[in-house]
Chains A and B, each alone.
Chain A
């Protein structure tokens, strides 16, 4: 079975703090794909990043960085120098190689960045 766990339900930080959102996944597929999506208060789901299981390089995009560790089945997301506009619910998702494109989402982490 496939599963994504985001243990942090809510996180509150003050602007300019760094924050890490945790994501742990379970899958029996040897090839799989991991994603992060952002859901701002307006409700839409915005794609942030995709990572293939065979590519363990970490990635940085501006203030965002992602740490993929196959050994611990984790795909954590760090926001550096957080801003109020980062306030949103963040979802980690998993898709297996032969799962018909189905995304399995975690429960989401609600990030609140206060000025």
Chain B
């Protein structure tokens, strides 16, 4: 158990809908990262937050947004869902801002999203 929690574990929804994925980092970790794992794209970095501020953005679609709250939990919002958004979404956390030096990221169990 990494100490990172994600809810829900599974989510089934329809195209066009909006969902929110939630992540609680390990105790004491200030950085939260979101990744998407799909069969065709593999594991892709989406976004990084440190202590409530956005630090880096990857291949995140405009339909997707994230935020980190004062209690350090984070939410990833996915809207206007398409079939291709079906994937495993991981949250990871690390102790501090990972610009330097790089801290190890510990991953949560993931949320499996299925868009029908």
Contact = CB atoms under 8 A, between A and B. Distances in A.
B94 to A, nearest CB: 7
Contact of B107 (A47, A50, A98): A47
B42 A45 contact: no
Contacts, number: 74
27 contacts: A32-B102, A35-B104, A35-B105, A43-B110, A44-B2, A45-B92, A45-B107, A47-B105, A91-B43, A97-B100, A97-B102, A99-B56, A100-B48, A100-B56, A100-B98, A101-B56, A101-B94, A101-B98, A101-B99, A101-B102, A101-B103, A102-B33, A102-B48, A102-B56, A103-B35, A105-B42, A105-B43
Interface residues of B, number: 31
Contacts of B56: 99-102
The 6 residue pairs across chains A and B that have the minimum distance between CB atoms: A100-B56, A101-B98, A45-B107, A105-B43, A33-B102, A102-B45
B87 to A, nearest CB: 12
Nearest to A42: B109
A101 B94 CA distance: 9
A47 B103 CA distance: 12
Contact of A43 (B42, B88, B100, B106): B88
A104 B112 contact: no
Contacts of B110: 43-45
